[in-house]
Amino acid sequence: MSKLPPARYVRDVEGYTPHTLTDEILASTEPLLLRGLVKQWPMVKAALESPQAADAYLRRYYRDATVVAMLGSPEMGGRFFYNDTLDGFNFTPVRVRLDGVLGELRGHYNDVKPPAIYVGSTTVETCLPGFAEENWMDLGDRAALMSIWIGNQTRIAAHYDLPDNLACVAAGHRRFTLFPPAQLSNLYIGPLDFTPAGQAISLVDFANPDLEKFPKFAEAWQHAQVAEMRPGDALFIPSMWWHHVEALDRFNVLINYWWRATPEYMDTPTNALMHALMTIRDLPKEQRAAWQELFRHYVFEADENTAAHIRPEARRVLGPLDGDATRMLRAQLLQRMNR
C-alpha cells in the first residue's frame, strides 16, 4: 500500500495452548494474536513438513464429502469479488468432492500464476470426521462451530461476522487486516443482499486502494490492525470487527471456531436491519426521528428503568425474554408479515 502508512499490529499474546485459554482471552473486545497457540496440532506439524504432508494428513480423515469450491481464473489474482458491474461475481462456485479440490491444488503447487481455488467455511465434522479429536481446542462451555477453509493464494474482502471468531492457521501463512465496527462508513460496503459469500464486503481493493474513488478509506486505515500469521498461530476476532483475509502460500488451511455469547433463541440482528430498511429508512425525516427515539429508548439504551412503571407480570415483551416468549413473538411477527 504505497499511498498509506504502515498499519499497527494486532497485540501479540504468547504462552497459551488449546488447554489453557481463559475467558479473558475469549471475551476480549479487541483482536488478539495468539502466537503458537496450535503449534502442537498434528495438522500443523504436517504442514511445516511440506504441503504434500499436510494434504496427506487431511486425506486421512476424508470419506466422501462434497464441498462448495470457488474457482477463478489466474487473472483475478486470487481476489474473490464482484464483476465490474456488481451484478455478478468473478468466480464460479461448484460442488465437488473435497479430495478433488486437494488434487487440483496439488496440481498447481508450482505454477507461476495458478487459478484461484478456495473452499470457504465448511463444517469439519461433516467433511473430515475425527479430525477434531486430534486437533483439539478447549473453549469451555461455548457451543462453538468448528470450520475449515482451504485454498491457494487468495484474498477475501473485508467483512464482519456476527459470532466471535478464533481463527487458527493450520497450513501456510495469512495476513489479517482488521477494523473496529465504528469504521463502517469509511470502508465503502457493497450491497447487503447480494454478496459473494453471504456477508456484505468492502469494495476497496486492499492491494491497490483507490483513494480518489474511496477517499474515506484513508481514515479507516488509521484504525487498521494487521496480524501476520505463521502456521500454529491463532487470531481472536471479536464479534462485528471487519477483517480482510489474505492467504499467502500455494497451500493454505485455516481452522476456525465461531460462537455467540447470547442465548440460542436470539435471532440474528441482521434480520432486524433488513426489516428496518424495508419499514423505516424511507419514512419522512420527522417519522424516522421518532422511530430513532423509540429504538433508543426500548433497545439501545434500555435498562431496568425502561419498564419500571409497569407491573412485572404485565410487561410482556418489555420484560426479560426467554425461549418460549421469543418463539411466541416470532410467530406473531410472521403472522403480521404474511397478511
CATH number of the domain at 246, please.
2.60.120.650
pLDDT of residue 2: 47
Could you tell me where the beta strands, DSSP code E, fall in the chain? 8-9, 11-13, 32-34, 66-72, 79-80, 92-97, 116-123, 145-151, 154-159, 164-171, 174-179, 225-229, 234-237, 242-247, 252-259
User: Domain range spanning residue 314?
Assistant: 269-337
The larger pLDDT score, comparing residue 176 to residue 262, is at: 176
Domain count, the chain: 2
Q: What per-residue confidence (pLDDT) applies to 264?
A: 84
Last residue of a domain, one of 259, 292, 313: 259
130 Ramachandran zone, left/alpha/beta (phi>0; psi -120 to 50) = left
For residue range 214-259, list pLDDT tens digits in order: 999 999 999 999 999 999 999 999 999 999 999 999 999 999 999 9
Choosing from 210, 239, 259, the residue where a domain stops is 259
* 56 and 159 fall within a common domain: yes
Mean pLDDT in residue range 285-307: 96
pLDDT recorded at residue 59:
97
* pLDDT score of 333: 87
The verdict on residue 2 lying in a domain is no
Query: What mean pLDDT is reported for the chain?
Result: 95
Q: Which three cell numbers stand for residue 307?
A: 419498564
Q: Are residues 83 and 204 in the same domain?
A: yes
pLDDT on residue 150: 98
Give per-residue pLDDT as tens, 21-75: 999 999 999 999 999 999 999 999 999 999 999 999 999 999 999 999 999 999 9
% of the chain surpassing 90 pLDDT:
91
Q: Higher confidence at residue 8 or residue 335?
A: 8
Q: Are residues 126 and 273 in the same domain?
A: no
Instruction: Examine the fold and report which residue of 259, 284, 299 is the final residue of a domain before the chain moves on.
Output: 259
Q: How far apart are the first and last CA of the chain?
A: 52
Predicted structure pTM score: 0.94
Regarding whether 279 and 172 lie in a shared domain, the answer is no
Residues 283 and 255 reside in one and the same domain: no
- Do 215 and 326 reside in the same domain of the chain? no
Regarding whether 239 and 286 lie in a shared domain, the answer is no
63 and 140 co-located in one domain? yes
